Amino acid sequence: MSMSAFHMAFRIDEIESTRQFYGELLQCSQGRESATWIDFDFFGNQISAHLGARPDWKLETMVDDTAVPLNHFGAVISWSEWERLHQRLQVAGVPFILEPQVRFVGMPGEQATFFVSDPSGNALEFKAYRHEDAVFKR
């Protein structure tokens, strides 16, 4: 199945910590930038981080009886890549919003998942499906 890349723009507090988090820690290639924004190749997708005011609200939703940030983005990666990223973030001392776990065990959507925040407080979820062909299965 061929999928199109998505583009997403989001708010950040400042450029340099964003460059370090996405570029160095997550190992995303950097694209164009200006004084007020910076682009990255986020697992084959284009993200644009723009300077802006931080909102004073936080929304959560329930997934499998666990509260998770409602506003978040992330990547679906292979199980082995998920394990490597989990280790890299843990070694770097990045706190987890939601600790690494496997949910929906034994179901078509069985997945490993964790949530972290970037330096500007944006929530990111990284997940891997036990069976990669089950991403859109019901």
Domain of 123, CATH number, reads: 3.10.180.10
- For residues 22 and 39, give the distance between their C-alpha atoms in angstroms, rounded to a whole number: 10
Domain count, the chain: 1
Q: How many residues does the chain have?
A: 138
- For residues 103 and 134, give the distance between their C-alpha atoms in angstroms, rounded to a whole number: 14
DSSP β-bridge partners for residue 7: 46
The tokens for 129 are 């499906």
Q: Which helix (H) or strand (E) covers residue 51, if one does? A: strand 45-51
41 versus 64: the higher-pLDDT residue is: 41
In a domain, 1, yes or no: no
Question: Is a pLDDT exceeding 90 seen at residue 41?
Answer: yes
Backbone angles phi, psi at 77, to 5 degrees: -125, 175
Per-residue pLDDT, averaged over 45-63, amounts to 88
Helices (H), strands (E): how many in the chain? 2, 10
Return the DSSP state at 122.
Answer: -
The pTM (predicted TM-score) of the whole model is 0.86
56-95 pLDDT, tens per residue?
777 888 887 888 888 899 999 999 999 999 999 999 999 9
In a domain, 74, yes or no: yes
In a domain, 51, yes or no: yes
In a domain, 92, yes or no: yes
User: In which band, very low, low, confident or very high, does the pLDDT at 1 lie, cut at 50, 70 and 90?
Assistant: very low
User: Given this model, what pLDDT does residue 3 score?
Assistant: 66
Residue-number span of the structural domain to which 33 is assigned:
7-134
User: In which band, very low, low, confident or very high, does the pLDDT at 136 lie, cut at 50, 70 and 90?
Assistant: confident
- For residues 67 and 75, give the distance between their C-alpha atoms in angstroms, rounded to a whole number: 19
